[in-house]
Structure 1
Amino acid sequence: MKVISRIQKRLEIISTAVWRFWFPTTAFAMTTIFALITIEGEGKQEEIVASVVAGLLGICMQLFIERLQIKQLSQKAVIYFMGLMASFGYYFYLQANTLNNYPTEVRTAILFLILLAAVVWIPSIKQSFVAFSKSLFLFIKAHFTALLSALVLMLGIYAVIGTYSFLISGINNRIYEWIAAIVWCGFFPLYFLSLLPVFPIKEEKENENYQKAVHMPKFFEVLLSYIIIPVILAYTMILILYIVKNITGSFWEDELLEPLLNGYIIAGWSTLYLIETISNKMVQFFQKYFPILLLIVTLFQTTATIFTIQRFGITDGRYFISLLLLFSFISSVLYIFKSMKIRITPLLLLALTIISILPGIGAVPVGNFSQSQQLDNVLVENNMLENNQIHPSESISNQDKEKIVKSVQYLRKTEYLNNISYLPNSSLYANEFSEVFGFKPYRYDKNNDVEQPSRQFFVEMTNDSTQEFNVEKADIMVPLQISDGTFIPDNKDQLAMTYNKEKYHLDWDETVDANTVLHLSDEADQTLINFDLTFLRKLKKLTEDWNSETLPAKELIFETENKNVKLTLAITSLRVEENTPIEGEFYLFITFKS
């Protein structure tokens, strides 16, 4: 009876949440419907993403209405209408810019981050730093509670259906996808919303439900105090030791810290927010010294990032790390000096994040402008650009070659190459790049002009392994031979093919940074799928001695897929040498899903 009573109580809470959060509930219901349609092969990812954005925006609107105690129906209607228009506006933006477009991916990811940050921050508007700390913990707690509940529910249903299928009657395997869509797009957000209490208008008026929701169990206190804090401190000391060890040399040039700092700064400040209500010696030690250590790391990395920008210009990645370093610097100073303005730090992060997606001054537009300017400058300095025409040259320095390659790489990634008037209307992969600039985008050491000793490995498939290929559902089998960054025997980095009277082509994209990607595109040059093959260089350890090994098929077959197509790559032989294009023979199996 207690179990039934608890279920009834939870259903009542969920029912209340549906009425309280009616806008996001409707949006997530639409997400579920769109996901089910997509599973049947008739929907698009754009509808799913747009409805999730509408759901998050709806949560923000409801929390904003509650926080400011907006009572008038007309004012609520205006807020919801604005949210609805914003949701439709974003949907039309996605229709005009496919999700496979890199700038769209970046803006969408940042938009999700903005909405999630706003959801946490809105309940603490005009309140203390402690109020934000409680809000952050409440949302994290609700998220993982809903996550675990959804996972258990899905696995339980899977077990029941699997048993029925095994013992009684076979069923359509697609039902597992339907269940996953219903659980994660419908149940998960709804259960999450049911865990959100009504937030107090003032901290001294916290009700019992809110206090229960923000209460931190002993487990979380121990986790934060004696596991997460020591790990962050140890990580910080490693960063500082690295800076001290390399301060007179490679630290200012190698850019190793930049990709590590995004997660580090966010994790560090999230921990500072979460421990605000905990009182023990470990927490007090962390609160006293971590902001100082973080400030030291921030100052050194800011200087290094400025040097990197001077050498290679701004990219969206450096733009984001620069904003994070600015946030870290300001927040650390406020925290160290115990300023009451510390409560604005979440708003500061939110504001900087919004700036990063604005037209003209956002991460991608600034990155495109900077890299196109760098390309112009290097070409002009080396007398390679005259009267809007490029004159190929192989005699320029390796440093300038590296700048050209990195700029072209970035502008290709952001699909901005066609906006540069003196470049051909193409993606400038290996052979085209060589024809335009006069040198290949690899085969030189990026730090100096001295050729380095090469390391390599070679693997091949056992002769009797081809029988292990399972290609029953493949639509096309393409034998590939790659050498010097091109398809053999045509010596081109593009390979054309036809299926069901439709034309497609493969592009082999191998860059100076040893990144290797295989692109499948249609006749309109729209990318259907990208297969990141960079991992091929790490299949075996590179050695200066000849390292040859024969492997079974199961270790040399790799797959990737999306809603459009599935690619299966079987390696029959592969030779990898550092600073040199991959050479190998493969079978590529293409399966179209439409």
Structure 2
Amino acid sequence: MKWLKKCKDRLTGLSDAISRFPLTTLFLLAAVLVNAYSISTEKDDTKILLTFILGAFLSAVTQVVYERFFSKFSSRLALMGAAIILTGGYYLIVRPAPNLSTEMEIRTVVAMFALLWAFIWVPVIKNSNSFNKSFMITFKSFFISLFFSGIIFVGIDIILVAFNELIFQIGYTAYPHTANVIFILFAPLYFLSLIPHYLRAKDDTIDQAAHCPKFLEILLSYIMIPLLGVFTLILVVYIFKTIGGAFWDDNLLEPMLVSYAITVILLYILVSELENKFTDFFRKVFPKVLIPIVLFQIASSVISLTDTGITHTRYYVILFGLFAIISGVLLSFLPVCKNGVIAALLIIFSAISIIPPVDAFTISRNSQISTLENELLKYDMLENNQIKPNGTVSEKDREIITETVHYLDQMGYLKEINWIPKNFNIYNDFEDTFGFREYHATGEENQSFYLTVEPPMSLNIAGFDRFVQTDLYPFDHNGEKEISHFKKESKTYSLLKETKDKRSDLKVADQNGKELIRFNTQEIFDKFDDYQADKGTIKAEEAIFTKENDRAKITIAVQNVSIEKQTKQNNAVVFVFVQIK
């Protein structure tokens, strides 16, 4: 039976992949076990998990390096040993940190990206098979393995749901455990089973594996290329239309142009061996069109660095722009069989971006610290290695200082600056440190946020006659509503909430209904209206409000407050303390 033979072939392919990539299999298995432990215990083991995944990438690349350049078993063991050492070195680097920083996460992702391109390119270096074939095989294998893994995952999930509903209940962790095994172990091994050994496989086997299916050829040639052509025309018209001004300030265009360059280069590689009028036109024209478009994008990015300095994201935008320009030039003149140079360039540029001292993070850190220092010196805000608050900073410079401080805080670089106060908290200490509130462009203020008091909250309750907890939602009733009543010296008093015209007041009245004291709760919402959404907490002393006269005293201690700027449906939970004099 054909289906039985196909299943047998697939199982054979999986076993061959395991024997061909034994170290990769061990790393993937270790990653599955670590992730399974994390799922079961709900502990974060991201550092170990990433270490094993990086080890899987490294060991897969060392295997194809061995297959391409070596033949002795001792060479294979040496390469596997090198992969283990590099993986262990990575873990020793990330282990001391309490959490993986954004910088380390990006470095890891970029390293894996470079290793993926090495995995595609190395097997066909100086080989009769072209890089285009290797890329197409990898491209197809990825989506085939993803498709089958998805089908298996959905099928097992359906079985688990049926078992849970019809037989007996199973733990909710069964589903993430299933995804863990399928997508971290099975999918990569199935992907590797589809990658041929380029030196041992017959030419017709390679050609068959690299063959572009008809539906993919139609998709690439007759759908993707025309759509990209229309998008290119729109881009060119926009550039010519706004070249005199708006283009240089349009930050939203930057990711669009980067995405466009990525699409052009990947599509060029995919259609390199397809022969029809659309692909011929694409290969002749688009690399040349790519060059001026990316040149404009780089110029725009460089201009924007004048005031704000370099961030790691902008570094990567400019670096990729340089790569895209060089690629456009090479693709315009080199034959398609030489497309492997694109992979070599990507690996080199990726290495540059993560290896000091010219990496994205060293340069961005130095640039941002320098930008902040220059802004502070402009307003004489740095004296004796300390920041002196200044409320006269211009709006433009407030924006630069705010964005720079936020970036340095996000990347964990503030602690490296000796003139930044120790234990500086950007959300609590910004205004006290710099002399002005964080800058927010018009329309970018927080529209809704929630604040709660930092624990512990200690209050002196001596002398008060009544303590009540209540909420200040002003739309739950209209008119007057009694919250609590109490007696003192044989007289009865009431704490009332009065709501009128979206305003809610707290007041204390005696047994005859005479008002003794009133507190306008809008004072609470007005005080917190310009706080930051990401601040999250407020100090206890910020949360206390007191009103007093010769008849009574009322103190409000805010427990939490919710601000809705658009609808004005503000709410708070408060402690109310009342003293009758």
SS in 2 for 1:96: coil
Task: From 388, 392, 395, give the equivalent of 2:389.
Answer: 392
Asked whether the equivalents of residues 431 and 493 of structure 1 are also in contact (C-alpha less than 8 Å), the reply is no
State the identity as a percent: 31
Query: Quick one: which amino acid aligns to residue 105 of structure 1?
Result: E
Q: CA deviation at 1:461?
A: 12
* Equivalent AA in structure 2 for residue 249 of structure 1: G
The answer to whether the 8 Å contact 1:430/1:440 transfers is: no
CA contact (8 A) 2:132 2:339 kept: no
Measured after TM superposition, the shift of residue 429 of structure 1 is 2.3
Residue number in structure 2 paired with 1:62? 63
Counterpart residue number, 2:565: 575
Matched, 1:347 2:344: yes
Structure 1 residues 336 and 17, CA gap change in structure 2 (3 angstroms) = same
- 1:135-214 aligned at under 5 Å gives the runs 135-200=134-199, 206-214=202-210
8 Å Cα contact 1:487-1:494 kept in structure 2: no
Query: After superposition, where does 1:463-474 map in structure 2 within 5 Å?
Result: none
- Asked if the contact 1:461/1:573 (under 8 Å) is kept, the reply is no
In structure 1, the residue matched to 2:234 is 238
**1:223-234 alignment, distance < 5 Å:** 223-234=219-230
Aligned partners of 2:65 and 2:122 also within 8 Å: yes
With over 3 angstroms needed to count, the CA separation of the structure-2 counterparts of 1:38 and 1:496, relative to structure 1, is farther
> C-alpha separation between the residues in 2 aligned to 1:393 and 1:571?
30
Mapped contact 1:120–1:132 kept (Cα < 8 A): yes
Give, as a single letter, the amino acid of the residue that structure 1 aligns with 2:234.
I
Which of 266, 272, 275 is 1:276 aligned to?
272
Partner SS for 1:360: coil
Q: 1:148 to 1:244 in 2, by over 3 A?
A: same
Matched to 1:429, the amino acid is: I
Letter in 2 for 1:144: F
Asked if the contact 1:17–1:193 (Cα under 8 Å) also holds between the matched residues in 2, the reply is yes
Q: Which residue of 2 aligns with 1:501?
A: none
Moved more, 219-228 or 249-258: 249-258
More displaced 10-residue stretch of structure 1: 308-317 or 379-388: 379-388
Change in CA separation of 1:453 and 1:424 when aligned onto 2, cut-off 3 Å: closer
Write the distance in 2 (CA, Å) between the matches of 1:462 and 1:89: 60
Query: Does residue 510 of structure 2 align to residue 484 of structure 1?
Result: no
Report the alpha carbon displacement of residue 265 of structure 1 after superposing the two structures with TM.
1.8
Match of 2:380 among 378, 383, 390: 383
5 Å-filtered alignment, 1:420-439, equals: 420-439=417-436
Give 1:551-570 correspondences, 5 Å limit.
none
Change (3 A) 1:293 1:210: same
Helix, strand or coil at the partner of 1:277: coil
Q: Pick from 287, 292, 295: which aligns with 2:291? A: 295
Where structure 2 has 5 or more consecutive residues not aligned to the other structure, the ranges are 450-472, 478-523, 541-559, 574-581
Give the deviation of 1:91 after TM superposition: 1.8
Structure 1 residues 463 and 25, CA gap change in structure 2 (3 angstroms): farther
Query: Any idea what SS the aligned residue of 1:282 has?
Result: helix
Q: Which amino acid aligns with 2:347?
A: L
Matched, 1:323 2:313: no
State which drifts further: 420-429 or 304-313: 420-429
> Contact (CA 8 Å) 2:38, 2:45: kept in 1 or not?
yes
Shift of 1:357: 0.7
Q: 1:97: which partner in 2?
A: 97
Partner of 1:40, secondary structure, is helix
State how far apart, in whole Å, the 1-side matches of 2:175 and 2:215 are. Answer: 34
Asked if 2 retains the 8 angstrom alpha-carbon contact of 1:315 and 1:371, the reply is yes
Q: Larger deviation: 138-147 or 221-230?
A: 221-230
Q: Give the letter for the 2:83 counterpart.
A: G
Preserved contact between residue 121 and residue 346 of structure 1 (Cα < 8 Å) = yes
Tell me how far apart the structure 2 counterparts of residues 197 and 453 of structure 1 sit (CA, whole Å). Answer: 53
Question: In the alignment, what sits opposite 2:305?
Answer: 309
Q: 1:253 to 1:47 in 2, by over 3 A?
A: same
Q: Secondary structure at the match of 1:356?
A: helix
User: Is 2:54 the counterpart of 1:53?
Assistant: yes
Structure-2 change in CA distance of 1:62 and 1:462 (3 Å): farther
Deviations, residues 284-326 of structure 1 (Å, cap 9, x unaligned): 1111221122111111111111111122111101110111111
Separation in 2, partners of 1:25, 1:431:
49
| CA shift in 2, pair 1:257/1:3, >3 Å | same
Instruction: Summarize deviations over 1:235-258 as a string: whole Å, max 9, x none.
Output: 222322222221111222232222
CA distance in 2, matches of 1:175, 1:430: 40
- The question of whether the paired residues in 2 share the 8 Å contact of 1:393 and 1:437 is answered with yes
Query: Superposition RMSD on alpha carbons, in Å?
Result: 3.1
Contact 1:485–1:493 (Cα < 8 Å) also in 2:
no
Task: Report deviation, 1:98.
Answer: 4.8
Cα distance in structure 1, aligned partners of 2:36 and 2:57: 20
Distance apart, 1:198 and its partner CA: 1.1
Distance 2:177 2:212 in 1: 36
Does the C-alpha gap of structure 1 residues 298 and 429 become closer, same or farther in structure 2, counting only changes over 3 Å? same
Evaluate the alpha carbon distance shift between residue 331 and residue 384 of structure 1 in structure 2; reply closer, same or farther with a 3 A threshold.
same
Q: Which amino acid aligns with 1:49?
A: L
User: How far did 1:585 drift?
Assistant: 4.7
Which is greater in Rg?
A: 2
Counterpart residue type for residue 150 of structure 1: S
The Cα of 1:175 is off from its aligned counterpart by 1.5
Q: Find the counterpart in structure 2 of residue 123 from structure 1.
A: 123
Structure 1 CA distance for aligned equivalents of residues 475 and 177 of structure 2: 40
SS where residue 442 of structure 1 aligns?
A: coil
Task: Output the CA distance in 2 between the equivalents of 1:441 and 1:246.
Answer: 32
Alignment partner, residue 591 of structure 1: none
1:99-128, CA deviations, whole angstroms, 9 ceiling, x for partnerless residues?
541111211221221121211121222358
Offset at residue 341 of structure 1 (A): 6.5
Take 2:154 and 2:441, find their aligned partners in 1: how far apart are those partners?
52
Where does residue 80 of structure 1 map in the other structure? 80
What is the deviation of 1:164? 2.1
461 and 359 in structure 1: CA distance in 2 versus 1, 3 angstrom threshold: farther
CA offsets per residue over residues 511-550 of structure 1, 9 Å max, x none? xxxxxxxxxxxxxxxxxxxxxxxxxxxxxxxxxxxxxxxx
1:416-565 paired onto structure 2 within 5 Å: 416-443=413-440, 483-485=529-531, 494-495=537-538
- Amino acid in the other structure paired with 1:360: P
Q: Is the 8 A contact 1:487 1:495 kept in 2?
A: no
Partner Cα distance (2:539, 2:93) in 1: 32
**1:584, distance to aligned residue in structure 2 (A):** 5.5
SS where residue 71 of structure 1 aligns?
A: coil
Post-superposition CA distance 1:370-426 (Å, at most 9, x none): 000011111112222122122222222222222211211110111001111111124
Q: Is the 8 A contact 2:271 2:279 kept in 1?
A: yes
Instruction: Tell me how far 1:52 sits from its aligned partner.
Output: 1.0
CA spacing shift, 1:398–1:189, aligned 2, 3 Å = same
Structure 1, unaligned runs of 5 or more: 446-451, 465-479, 498-569, 588-594
Alpha-carbon distance change, 222 to 341 in structure 1, aligned in 2, over 3 angstroms = closer
The residue type paired with residue 208 of structure 2 is K
Q: Distance in 2 between matches of 1:15 and 1:347?
A: 31
Instruction: Supply the distance in 2 between the matched residues of 1:586 and 1:305 (Cα, whole angstroms).
Output: 45
**Cα 1:91/1:399, change in 2 over 3 Å:** same
Correspondence for 1:357: 354
2:408 alignment partner in structure 1: 411
On the 8 A contact 2:136/2:270 being kept in 1, the answer is yes
Is 2:67–2:199's contact at 8 Å kept on the other side of the alignment? no
Give the SS at the match of 2:103.
helix
Larger mean Cα displacement after TM superposition, 157-166 or 319-328? 157-166
